[in-house]
A and B are shown apart, each in its own frame.
Chain A
Amino acid sequence: MITVQLNGSEVQGRPGMTILELAQENGIDIPTLCYRSELNPIGACRICSVEVEGARTLVASCHTPIAPGMAIHTHSPKVLQARKSIVELLLASHPDACLVCDKANLCELRKLAADLGVGLPRFRIRKRYYPLEDVSPYIVRDLTKCILCQRCVRACREIKKQDVFAIAYRGFDSKVVVDQDQPLDKEVCRDCDVCISFCPVGALTKREEALVPKKGIPLIMKG
């Protein structure tokens, strides 16, 4: 067993465990976005960054294994400030279409923003507008809303072993693509819906649920 300091108290962890797993076992909630326990971590979103004493930078808890004697702070002011700043960036480049978005208050980005107390971004940056892809009989892809967590890419690759998606272009123009940036159609994708359940925002929706008028009480988001 490995003994580490977690937010000031001594806890025990197994070798090979990540900081995030240790925190979860000890009832400490570290926000995550690109991480899912079913998938291999990639450390892309950096929301789960925590402070480790002596480290030059913050470390992402989803892929950093614990080491003996580590002193970890999961919610220090430095960490919270960095997380807020990341969410602010994500919101700034995300379309402000929450009112008509199918994800509404199930959206993980909105939940994250509410939890961290991030409101309207203080600045404007470019948004990535793509045409809505509704060629496939199974999935409607609205890549304008994509936050590039790569969860769909990994779910398809690791769970269904299909490798339909990949990342193309670079930097700000990075995009989840199919083949040579073709619209997703039924030729490459079968009806499994795995990627849809992994999308944290409204970028992937089921065909039958998308683009239909919503009935019932409107969903209200607190925070």
Chain B
Amino acid sequence: MPEKRIVLKNCGVIDPRDINTYLGQDGFKALAKARTELTPEQVIAEIKGSGLRGRGGAGFPAGLKWELARNAPGTEKYVICNADEGEVGTFKDRYILGRDPFSLIEAMAIAGYAIGSQTGYIYLRAEYYYLLNLLQNAIAQAQEGGFLKGLVIEICEGAGFYVCGEETALMDSIEGRRGEVRFRPPFPPTQGLWGKPTIINNVETLINIPQIILNGAEWFNHIGTERSKGTKVFSISGDVERPGVYELVMGSPLRELVEELALARDVKLVQVGGAAGRVLPYQEIDTPLAFETVLGAGAVIVFNESRDVIDIVFRTMEFFAEECCGKCTPCRLGTEAMIEILAKFVQGSGSKEDLTVLEDTARMMQLTSLCGLGQTAPNAVVDTLQYFPDLYQARISKSEVP
């Protein structure tokens, strides 16, 4: 399937500093259409009908989220754009924010209209501070143009913590507290920021909204696979010749992205979805990229034959131990136990019992961790144990009595 530009339609076409270039590309027409021709319920019905699912990794249906927030009691509601793109190897949101901030603002205005919210927040990753001026300028221009009536959009800068990309920790951070995950239920659409109904959408999810409103749910529904509609923006890096941001129709095979677009050679394994994603060996390269199979937030990291698998897994686990918030036991201690054990395998002094412990701990973390970080942290371990068991066996200490 070819590259198709829906999300990246305006990137490189418009000047992100000038709203007039955006208006020339049908900018803010979707917002006008939503406000004049559609009721908020119709907007939500349109999003639901399109089958749009969250692009941040979890894949929750966006329309359903909006409907829950719309129907939740209360007049004070919030729209949050999650621009805390922290996953290892993702840079798609940075690319979009820096080239098409107006689509995001338009989408947030539509979301505000649909759920009945007066306040929007863009939670910007701390490392993306250089985009702050650009976004503020875009918001100011949209305000001057009279497109934001009834909605105030504020930018909230993160403090540099991976977990704050998780929606409940993100809300804690906006509230000014330590970014720690909250348990669910209650879910944010009913009880979110300051206990009020809140929708939190990824940048890429929101950028799809104006297109869906303009072209209709039917149009969007025809792109992609049965349960994954539309396109997905991938950020590919690692051992490839042409790293960068590519937009593909949902269901495109991984091979197309890795070998045809990014020109990778001698691929050993591919990590799809960043550190928290799945690890696929080369023989799985024809896997279609969709929510049904593997997707995550769209980070694709390619490792060639020269890389050591266990070293990759060890460093992934070090990352999680560093970025764990420390609230729940499985994640706080599980990641720590795993780096201790994996370090032994890196040195070639593992034991059979270590493998059992690794499996037990991984399963326990996937089942009991409080948030997505802990639940997905052992993914790399689980997948490599499945696909490369020989490599682990080879690192079991020679001195161990069988």
Chain A residues near B (Cβ < 8 Å) = 41-47, 49, 57-58, 60, 63-65, 78, 81-82, 85-86, 89-90, 92-93, 122-126, 147-148, 166-167, 169-174
Contact = CB atoms under 8 A, between A and B. Distances in A.
B3 interface: no
Nearest to B340: A125
B357 interface: yes
A85 B364 contact: yes
B66 to A, nearest CB: 22
B227 to A, nearest CB: 16
Nearest to B161: A170
B361 A46 contact: no
Given A44-B327, A46-B368, A60 B183 contact: yes
A159 B360 CA distance: 38
A124 B333 CA distance: 11
Contacts of A166: 178
B336 A126 contact: yes
Looking at B161, B330, B341, which has the most chain A CB atoms within 10 Å of its CB?
B330
A49 B183 contact: no
A57 B183 contact: no
Looking at B178, B322, B324, B336, which has the most chain A CB atoms within 10 Å of its CB?
B336
B369 A171 contact: no
26 contacts: A41-B183, A44-B329, A49-B368, A57-B369, A60-B183, A63-B183, A64-B185, A65-B185, A81-B364, A82-B363, A85-B361, A89-B361, A92-B333, A124-B340, A148-B327, A166-B178, A167-B180, A167-B326, A169-B326, A171-B323, A172-B321, A172-B324, A172-B333, A172-B335, A174-B326, A174-B332
Nearest to B330: A46
Q: Is the interface of B mostly helix, strand, loop or mixed?
A: helix
Nearest to A45: B329
B368 to A, nearest CB: 4
- Band of interface residues on B: 35 or more
A78 to B, nearest CB: 7
B153 interface: no
Nearest to A92: B337
B330 A86 contact: yes
Given A123-B357, A125-B333, A86 B368 contact: yes
A82 B364 contact: yes
Contacts of B322: 171
B82 interface: no
A160 B325 CA distance: 26
Given A43-B183, A49-B368, A93 B326 contact: no
Interface in B158-210: 161, 178, 180, 183, 185
A93 B367 contact: no
A43 B321 CA distance: 20
Given A57-B368, A125-B336, A43 B360 contact: no
A42 B183 contact: yes
Contacts of A82: 363-364, 367-368
Can you list the 8 inter-chain pairs with the closest CB atoms, starting with the nearest?
A: A174-B326, A85-B364, A171-B324, A43-B183, A89-B333, A46-B368, A58-B367, A82-B364
B332 A171 contact: yes
Nearest to A123: B357
Contacts of B161: 170
Interface in B363-390: 363-364, 366-370, 375
B324 A170 contact: yes
Contacts of A170: 161, 323-326
B16 interface: no
B215 to A, nearest CB: 33
Looking at B322, B329, B336, B366, which has the most chain A CB atoms within 10 Å of its CB?
B329
Nearest to A64: B185
B328 A46 contact: yes
Nearest to B371: A43
A81 B360 contact: yes
A167 B354 CA distance: 32
A149 to B, nearest CB: 9
B334 interface: yes
A199 B328 CA distance: 17
B353 interface: yes
Contacts of B178: 166-167
B278 to A, nearest CB: 15
A46 B73 CA distance: 31
B368 A171 contact: no
Contacts of B357: 122-123
Nearest to B181: A43
Contacts of B332: 148, 171-172, 174
B330 A148 contact: no
